[in-house]
Structure 1
Amino acid sequence: MKYVEEVGSMNIFFVIGDELITPELNRSILAGVTRDSVIRLAESWGIKVVERKISIDEVYSAHADGSLKEVFGSGTAAVISPVGDIKFDGREITVGDGSVGPLAARFFEDLTAIQYGKAEDPFGWIVPVR
């Protein structure tokens, strides 16, 4: 079985049904700061976060049955980067309509607002530098 671990050099997230799924950490998956921020924000919003192996077959099946809602990557440089298409083994799917999904957009907006001091930091992530 083939498992998805990342997208480019970013951690990857799948919105399948009512869950936010990201591959569990192992020796080949970086414990990214932005990954952790996404998980903590999601949990604070009441979204169920699941860290586990996810196979490419499961992703394709979720797309086929309509439960795959969004896919996005998280990383320091891009913050949140939507995935519009997935290609594997001669098969290609478009995620949603290929554009940024509402959850990915919300993560980007909220994370950058906290980073730039435009929103309250409920997690203590921002440290003033004098």
Structure 2
Amino acid sequence: MASSFAMRLVHLGYAVHVVGEATAPAFAAGDVLVGVSGSGNTSGTVRAAGEARRAGGRVVAVTTDADSELAAAADAVLLVPAATKNRAEGETATAQPLSSLFDQAVHLALDAVCLRLAAEAGIDNATARGAHVRTE
């Protein structure tokens, strides 16, 4: 879901990289990390948040748990009330396996963020399509 969000931000004209990709640069002051973890305790995501903070960056946590390690490291938290693979007490009930419900809810929530950013910047479908990879 984080990679999909990154792709949409690129379509909107933002300079975006995905942690762990070969071409991703080191964090720098002023950078923003959007960390997505249902539990908020995924070690790699929490580690990336710490690195972003040490570099002078900001962290936005997308999680179900306001009391998680990721939320504690964040400047802002987007709480997504959905079931994760952990099925923690208080999570929304679902028949879907693992973190499917969380993934779907995050996709919709982050897409809503993109819609808002596009509206504020006056970016329509044709403009976003111009930034999309062309394969034909």
TM-score > 0.5, shorter chain as reference:
no
**Larger strand proportion of the pair:** 1
TM-score, L = length of structure 2: 0.30
**Larger helix proportion of the pair:** 2
TM-score, L = length of structure 1: 0.31
